[in-house]
Amino acid sequence: MAEHATRHRFVRRAVRRFMPGETVDAALEASGSLAAEGIPTLVTLLGENLVEASEADAVARHYLDALGRVRAAGLDAELSVKPTQLGLDLDPALCRRHLDALIDAAAREPRSTVWIDMEGSPYVDPTLELYRSLRGRHANVGVCLQAYLYRTAADLEALLPLGPSIRLVKGAYLEPREIAFPEKADVDRSYLTLAERLLDALGGGDGLRVGFGTHDPRLIERINAGAAERGTSPAAFEWQMLYGIQREEQRRLARAGYRVRVLISYGAAWYPWYMRRLAERPANLLFVARNVFAR
């Protein structure tokens, strides 16, 4: 499917709704456009589960170059990276060395955070172990937690004493019902419960940074209301949303004084990532289907 679908122009055109292009140049150009609207960004090179150490080395070099270009352009653009893209499957020590180098580079003025993405459930423990070891040395490193996993509430409680940077998302990988909530309503309830716990923890003054990664308008409204009830400033947390999704909502939140950061994905390995975007929002599939039957 990946080999066949990516040849079609209409599929590539549909993908451009969610990513500005396959190159870092395209990502940074989009980052500059959003910066003009007062919206900072995250950038991520698509790809995961690499099979050669040389590939992981090349990704690390790419990100180091991207950091230099971000700094030279004066952009507020942070990195979001997948551990398996930096060699976690091959050698955890290799992945740790690459992340150490990226986080050190991002710590230079102006300092930025390197966010560690969470992949499928087999990677949760290795990723959290990696994060804890890095957080002991670096303040500017964050990690993603997925609300659809039953275990996430316990994982969050274990991380909070570290004064972590947490991005909370619903989760986009296909997981068995033995370990993940199978129904959207249950995932939404879990997300809200976790979000409220993070809002409660924000008043602790322990360096906690929170990014809520969702486009769900009902969750956004309830979390903002919960923050207001607690007397939490809109600037005390961040909405982290995907490029091309809910653009007007991104602008509305920014105008209302909330911190908004947009995740820009780029790269040639976009097919599995795009399939997850379709699964998250079935209406996106209709756009592709209309193009199929129009041919």
* HEC-encoded secondary structure of 41-67: EEEEECCCCCCCHHHHHHHHHHHHHHH
Q: Is 171 left (phi over 0), alpha (psi -120 to 50) or beta?
A: left
- Rounded CA gap, 259 and 227, in Å? 13
Beta bridge partners of 167: 144, 211
Is 155 catalytic? The answer is no
- Rounded CA gap, 292 and 283, in Å? 15
Q: For residues 116 and 99, is the Cβ–Cβ distance under 8 A?
A: yes
The catalytically annotated residue of 89, 117, 155, 188 is 117
Residue 181, classed as helix, strand or coil, is coil
Q: Helix 271-280 to helix 283-293 angle, to the nearest 10 degrees?
A: 120
C-alpha torsion sign, points 186, 189, 190, 191: positive
The catalytically annotated residue of 89, 135, 155, 167 is 167
User: Pick from 195, 193, 171, 194: which is nearest to 183 by CA?
Assistant: 171
Cis peptide before 110 (omega within 30 of 0): yes
Q: Chain centroid to CA 231: how far?
A: 27
C-alpha torsion sign, points 67, 126, 86, 22: negative
Is 167 catalytic? The answer is yes
Which active-site residues does the annotation give?
Answer: 117, 167
